[in-house]
Amino acid sequence: MLHLQVFHTGSTEVPNFPEFVAVGLVDGVQIGHYDSNTKRLVPKHWMNKVIADDPGHLEWHTVRCMDAHQFFKAELQTLKQRFNQTGGVHTFQSMFGCEWDDETGDYVNGFNQYGYDGEDWLVLDLKTLTWIALTPQAVITKQNLNNDKAELANWKYFLSQGCFDLLKKYVHYGKSTLQRTVLPSVSLLQKSPSSPVSCHATGFYPDKGMLFWTRDGEELQDLVDQGEILPNHDGTFQTSVQLDVSSVKPEDWGKYECVFQLSGVKEDMVTKLDPAVIKTNNPGINTALVIGVVGLLLLLVICIAGVFIWRRNNNGFRPANTLETSSAKAASPT
């Protein structure tokens, strides 16, 4: 399944951040960026080839971003009035796009939704071609949009045909990037000897990867905490899964393995739960070292005490010098 997603963000009084930002992604890979400070759309990756073959495509997107900026700026003022807000930091966001099953060639669906100050605001139901208010304050906006039949028709065409055509075009140009498979680097991480062991996989592509713990080859459903798949700055992905080892006996550690599976790759990546390969930025104190140091200190104390006694019995007591040590142990609506 491949996705085309466009994110628009309008904001007020956010320090060092443009009033309006637009970002386009295909299957999680950023293909373009626009902001109201530069008023330029900057293509990325294979989109440079798209623009080279069709220079008008860049202007087409740029004009729409500039129009969206003005719309979002006006919309923010309307929403602030509706919520009786006079100033401060506020955001109005939209996400729209479509999904395509590149294996069957079928168009899956289109989507369009809005949020205000981090909460859902409106969503378009393409089946009924109506906007749905997700908060009471959005009812007026919903009614206005549902009465605009021409705009509804525009969204219907774009989300059921135009977006689909764009996605197919972008996938065609970006095939070598989008259809590649990249295996991750896998590490075992632990904050302290009593903390869960986190199996962390990063740098894989596509995002259709699975990471899980097994015991004797059977996938574990308990003692684990599954993390989300998150994007990296270079277009790859990362994820992690934690294993609670507090109840795992030391002699049983060898029965546990972290397994990574990637769609399109037959071989699994398997990492055994081995204390020797666990990385930590807060290493625990080595038990043998502690025992050795304690033993040495005890011997030193006994020796000093012996000297004190000897000197007292030999007509004179001089206290030894004290040594003090210290250790110093992250686009729509109104």
Burial of 119 (0-12, 13-18, 19+ CB in 10 A): exposed
Looking at residue 281, its pLDDT comes to: 66
Give me the chain's average pLDDT, please.
Answer: 83
| Mean pLDDT (whole number) for 107-126 | 93
Do 18 and 157 have their domain in common?
yes
Do 33 and 101 have their domain in common?
yes
Do 265 and 309 have their domain in common?
no
Full-model pTM: 0.68
Q: Which of 178, 197, 230 is the last residue of a domain?
A: 178
CATH assignment at residue 100? 3.30.500.10
Write out pLDDT tens, residues 230-276.
Answer: 988 888 899 999 999 998 998 999 999 999 999 889 899 999 999 99
pLDDT above 90 covers a percentage of the chain that reads 63
Write out pLDDT tens, residues 172-197.
Answer: 999 888 888 999 999 999 998 889 99
DSSP string covering 250-307: GGGGGGEEEEEEETT--SPEEEE--GGGEE-SSPPPPHHHHHHHHHHHHHHHHHHHHH
Do 222 and 77 have their domain in common?
no
DSSP E strand boundaries for 89-208: 90-101, 106-116, 119-125, 130-133, 185-189, 197-204
334 within some domain? no
Q: How confident is the model at residue 222 (pLDDT cuts 50, 70, 90)?
A: confident
40 within some domain? yes
| Mean pLDDT (whole number) for 90-117 | 90
Looking at residue 197, its pLDDT comes to: 96
Looking at residue 6, its pLDDT comes to: 96
H/E run at residue 248: none
Q: Which of 153, 178, 203 is the last residue of a domain?
A: 178
Do 53 and 78 have their domain in common?
yes
Q: Is the pLDDT of residue 332 over 70?
A: no
| Most distant pair of Cα atoms in the chain: their distance | 109
Number of domains in the chain: 3
Write out pLDDT tens, residues 8-34.
Answer: 999 999 989 999 999 999 988 889 999
CB atoms within 10 A of CB 41: 23
- Written in H, E and C, the secondary structure of 180-212 is CCECCEEEEECCCCCCCEEEEEEEEECCCEEEE
- Residue 320's φ and ψ, nearest 5 degrees, are -75, 155
- Residue 9's φ and ψ, nearest 5 degrees, are -135, 120
Do 189 and 312 have their domain in common?
no
27 within some domain? yes
Do 248 and 127 have their domain in common?
no
Looking at residue 315, its pLDDT comes to: 39
Q: Among residues 131, 21, 33, which one has the least CA distance to residue 68?
A: 21
pLDDT above 70 covers a percentage of the chain that reads 84
Tell which wins on pLDDT, 295 or 3.
Answer: 3
Q: Going by DSSP bridges, is the β-strand pair 106-116/90-101 parallel, antiparallel, or unpaired?
A: antiparallel
Q: How confident is the model at residue 327 (pLDDT cuts 50, 70, 90)?
A: very low
Do 28 and 169 have their domain in common?
yes
Q: In terms of residue numbers, what domain contains 57?
A: 2-178
Looking at residue 151, its pLDDT comes to: 93
